[in-house]
Amino acid sequence: MNWKIMSSTAGSEALFRHGDLPLPVEIRGIRGARRLRLRLDEKRQVLKLTGPLRMSRKAALKWAAEQRDWVETQVAAMLPAEPFEPGAVIPVEGRDVRLSWSEEAPRTPRLEGDLLACGGPRDGFARRIEVFLRRRSLKLLSEETAEFAERAKVTLKGVSVGDPDTRWGSCSSAGRLRYSWRLILAPSEVRRYVVAHEVAHLVHLNHGPEFKALERELFDGDADAARLLLRRIGGRLKRIGRTL
């Protein structure tokens, strides 16, 4: 397990870090408690886990990591929305890009250097930017999925993108892969890690040793580092383009 203790007090509280969680976990035993509970302390930016006095800290932290989908949803919800507006700076393939609008410019967005320019009516600006990013995401993810599928010697039935609340990718037993379009915002190593992960699922529909071995064989980089980076930046990526 990828975890470490950060600090402790003379009482029953301790602060831990786990590689699968974006925030530290404060573990506290409570007299009379019969089960584990987890909540987000937004002010302190800490996950507060409570449970029985004699609980295993290691087991409690493992349980907290298993709640990571819920945790990521809560973290994303507490971050400010970053709507697509002229002048806003967003990441595209991990590189900061400024959004620009001019009514006289072409309606189809164009990415040139660190500027993503779009023309046409102002009230359709955000929609056109999102459509551009979705199409760019689908094209790149389709190409990289085909690349990894060929290396894994598996048949790929189709690739699509959507905007799921928690998952970055999913694999069906029929051989179809679906990704979050927001991966186009992430650095290339993060995006390619997710692709390698999902293609490995075309061979192994589990997370066992053989799956992990194939995932590492397909990914041309440090899989652990890419996964942890996605954990750190994922909350923000899910707020980009939203208004609430």
125-176: pLDDT as tens digits? 999 999 999 999 999 999 999 999 999 999 999 999 999 977 899 999 889 9
pLDDT band at 244 (very low <50, low <70, confident <90, very high): confident
Residues 67 and 93 occupy one common structural domain: no
215-241: pLDDT as tens digits? 999 998 999 999 989 988 988 999 999
The side-by-side arrangement of strands in the sheet containing 3-8 is 3-8, 13-18, 25-30, 46-52, 37-41
pLDDT band at 88 (very low <50, low <70, confident <90, very high): very high
pLDDT band at 13 (very low <50, low <70, confident <90, very high): low
Residues 99 and 67 occupy one common structural domain: no
- pLDDT, position 165: 79
pTM: 0.76
Q: With respect to residue 83, please indicate whether it lies within any of the assigned structural domains.
A: no
Cα separation of 30 and 13, whole Å?
10
Cα separation of 244 and 239, whole Å?
8
Q: With respect to residue 244, please indicate whether it lies within any of the assigned structural domains.
A: no
Residues 167-193 have a mean pLDDT of 95
- pLDDT, position 44: 84
Cα separation of 77 and 89, whole Å?
20
Q: State the total domains in the chain.
A: 2
Q: Domain range holding 128?
A: 89-237
Q: Residue 10 pLDDT > 50, yes or no?
A: no
- Boundary (domain end) residue, out of 78, 109, 125: 78
Residues 53 and 131 occupy one common structural domain: no
- pLDDT, position 1: 42
DSSP classification of residue 82: B
Segments in 15-124 forming alpha helices (H): 57-66, 68-78
Residue type, position 66, single letter: E
- Boundary (domain end) residue, out of 78, 100, 115: 78
Helix (H, G, I), strand (E, B) or coil at 16: strand
**What are the CA-CA distances from residue 217 to residues 39, 62, 189, 210, 229 (Å)?**
37, 26, 14, 11, 19
Q: With respect to residue 84, please indicate whether it lies within any of the assigned structural domains.
A: no
Residues 165 and 94 occupy one common structural domain: yes
Over the chain, what is the mean pLDDT? 90
Residues 111 and 49 occupy one common structural domain: no
Residues 71 and 108 occupy one common structural domain: no
Q: With respect to residue 243, please indicate whether it lies within any of the assigned structural domains.
A: no
Whether the CB-CB separation of 160 and 178 falls below 8 Å is answered with: yes
Residues 182 and 117 occupy one common structural domain: yes
Q: How many helices (H) and strands (E) does the chain have?
A: 6, 12
